Amino acid sequence: MKKAENSAPNRPASGSPKARDERQDRLKRLELIKSLGLVPYADRFEKTHSIAQTREAKMGAKVATAGRIVLFRDMGKVSFAHLLDFSGKVQIVLKIDELGQENYKNFIKIISLGDFIGVRGEMFKTQKGEISILVKEYAFLSKALRPLPEKWHGLKDLETKYRKRYLDLIANSDTMARFNFRSNFIWELRKFYQENGFLEIDTPVLSGSASGALAKPFQTHYNALDLDVYLRIAPEIHLKEAVAGGFEKIFEVARVFRNEGMDASHLQEFSMVEHYAAYWNFEDNMNFTEKMLTTLIKKLKGSLKIKVLNRDDQLIEVDFSLPWRRVSFRDLLMKDCGIDVDKCSDAKSLREAIKKKKIAIEDMDKLGHGNLMDALYKKISRPKIINPTFLINHPTDLSPLARKNDKNPLVTDRFQLIVNGWEIVNAYSELIDPIDQRERFEKQTVAKKAGDEEAMQKDDEFVEAMEYGMPPVSGWGMGIERIVALLTEQPNLRDVVMFPLLKPKE
């Protein structure tokens, strides 16, 4: 009996002579499709079932589904193939007695791995017990002109996965599942906000100033206005202006841009969600954060005890069960390195204390007081935090938009949620005093002139909006990629970005 297998292993690498020969073969098959009066690139196919749904259907049920051919074996009068769509993979069985000799042989002649087809047939189990579709008729939907790469199933090369995510999605079912999880997480997040009385609004990506976070912005030029503008580093300022205008509970899932270093936990372009609630303080927001994340994690993961990857790429358990630990910024640094930031009131004294402790911080001499404290904390303390921890009472110079604490003006009413050494949430009681806000912007301006590229830009229009009056308000921000990477056991944020930006190969 004739037996031939047309499957993915041993496929030639793209650009090789074998790959070019393979492409020529596929072009010939494309011409054959046309000569048979078939359409090589169809406009539609009516799917009654996803592939996952076909596998759940009763035996004998009639189904119509479609997908990509990822394995094909011709056994003479019967052929077996694996059909893949976004939901999974199923075996299809083609028999000469079912399709007729001409249709069956034409299928063998025109098909290549990677092609899309639609099939109509009945569910059954093979003698080996494999759930399959007995094909009654097929429709050719799209010819693939390039072969899948060698060993495409289980594609491992990171650069290929990032540069050609479509191949990663085809090859690795866990990659497809990961991006499904990201979509479901954002959907459930929006649903949670709606159920808790929040409205979603949009704010501009292009702005005349780069405020709302300590970060270096991307700059571009607006030709129609002949104006240099910035890509937003956060939606904060406009959202707070909306609160000044009368909105009380608002949020935005926003794309933001920060022209700074890239590592496993930082990207220059990423998604974040920010919300603002009038009449709340930062403690209200801490309670809301616990409620939100325990609800979403329990719903999407099934448990509050989950596995995550630590910095050594080891799976460890993180317990999101309440209550979460709360620790002050000063106490944490005192414990970890013995430096009292309350006694180091400027960049010079803090720099001397850091050098005395022989702690190395990159570009230390260029950093302003706030960013120097932040760099010290990130170097000494943050990597040690594993279970959910609220870091509170940040120094004022580290939080130019946060409200000063009424009892201790050296600190602000702010918190960060840290999990597994990553900052997941940043939030605070907002500064609503326009005079105080103007003074803090001036300090940031001094730091920027001294060489601190991440110091915040002054925003006079925002201060003017504040002068019309703002209610008490607490704001909150969370990186989408960070929480999704954490919950899907990914070591790098690029693993949860569908198409991360990379340098061109040439």
Residue-wise pLDDT for 423-434, tens only, equals 999 999 998 999
The per-residue b/e assignment along 378-392, b for 16 or more CB within 10 angstroms, e otherwise, is ebbbbeebbebbbbb
In CATH, 4-152 is 2.40.50.140: yes
For residue 455, what pLDDT is reported? Answer: 67
Give percent of the chain above pLDDT 90.
72
What is the DSSP code (8-state) at residue 494?
G
Q: Give the separation between CA 420 and CA 382, rounded to whole angstroms.
A: 9
Of 96, 120, 91, nearest to 106 by C-alpha is 96
Per-residue pLDDT, 153: 59
Q: Where are the beta strands (DSSP E) in 153-258?
A: 199-200, 206-207, 219-222, 227-231, 249-257
Q: Which of 155, 177, 493, 229 is nearest to 501 (CA)?
A: 493
Please give the residue that has the higher pLDDT: either 97 or 458.
Answer: 97
Statement: residue 18 has pLDDT above 80: no
| Whole-angstrom distance, CA of residue 296 vs CA of residue 398 | 30
Question: What is residue 152's predicted lDDT score, i.e. its pLDDT?
Answer: 55
Least Cα distance to 495 among 261, 174, 253 occurs for 174
Tokens of 62: 């009639």
Alpha helices in 358-412 (DSSP H): 369-380
* pLDDT, position 157: 81
**Does pLDDT of 444 surpass 50?**
yes
Which CATH architecture group holds 171-496? 2-Layer Sandwich (3.30)
Query: What is the number of other CB atoms lying within 10 angstroms of the CB of residue 75?
Result: 15
Q: How far apart are CA 417 and CA 330, in angstroms?
A: 16
- Name the most confidently modeled range: 82-91, 305-314, 351-360: 82-91
Helices marked H in 302-412 = 329-337, 347-356, 369-380
Given strand 219-222, what is the order of strands in its sheet? Answer: 206-207, 227-231, 219-222
Structure tokens at 363: 């570009």
Question: Which residues is 6 bridged to in the sheet?
Answer: 72
Region 271-299 average pLDDT:
98
Q: Where are the alpha helices (DSSP H) in 302-453?
A: 329-337, 347-356, 369-380, 434-449
How many other C-beta atoms are found inside a 10 Å radius of the C-beta of residue 314? 9
Distance CA 87, CA 161 (A): 20
Partners of residue 318 on adjacent β-strands? 306
The per-residue pLDDT of the chain, averaged, comes to 90
CA distance 120 to 103: 14
Contact 131, 90 (CB under 8 A): yes
Q: Strands 269-278, 249-257: parallel, antiparallel or unpaired by DSSP?
A: antiparallel
What is the average per-residue pLDDT within 343-351?
89
Residue 326 pairs with which residues in a beta bridge?
A: 390
Are 483 and 289 a contacting pair, CB within 8 Å? no
Q: In whole angstroms, what is the distance from residue 408 CA to residue 342 CA?
A: 10
Query: Which position has the higher pLDDT, 437 or 140?
Result: 140
Phi then psi for 226, rounded to 5 degrees? 50, 55
Residues 428/413, Cβ–Cβ less than 8 Å: yes
Q: For the segment 358-398, what is each residue's pLDDT rounded down to a tens digit?
A: 999 988 888 888 889 889 999 999 999 999 999 999 988 88
Indicate the pTM of the whole model: 0.87
Confidence of residue 42 (pLDDT cuts 50, 70, 90): very high
Distance CA 487, CA 485 (A): 6
Strand pairing class (219-222; 305-309): unpaired
**Distant-in-sequence, close-in-space partners of 264: CB < 8 Å, separation ≥ 6:** 491, 492, 493
Instruction: Please report, for the chain, the start and end positions of each structural domain, with discontinuous segments joined by +.
Output: 4-152, 171-496
- The strand pairing partners of 74, in sequence order, are 4, 79
CA Rg value for the chain = 29
Does 12 have pLDDT greater than 80?
A: no
pLDDT of 1 reads 38
- Which of 138-147, 182-191, 430-439, 464-473 is predicted with the least confidence, judged by mean pLDDT? 430-439
Give the three-class secondary structure for 65: strand
